Amino acid sequence: MDLFTVELLLPERRLYKGPATLVMVPGFEGELGILANHIGFLAKLKEGIVRIFVNDEPEIDFQISYGYLEMVNNVCSIIAAREVQKNIA
pLDDT of residue 88: 47
Contacts of 69 (CB under 8 A, 6+ apart): 25, 27, 32, 34, 42, 43, 45, 76, 77, 78, 79
Is-contact 2 36, C-beta < 8 A?
yes
What's the CATH number where 73 sits? 2.60.15.10
pLDDT of residue 85: 60
| Average pLDDT along the chain, 89 residues, taken 10 residues at a time | 94 93 95 95 95 94 94 96 64
pLDDT of residue 52: 97
pLDDT of residue 86: 55
Number of domains in the chain: 1
Q: Which domain holds residue 16?
A: 4-88
> Which amino acid appears at position 3 of this protein?
L
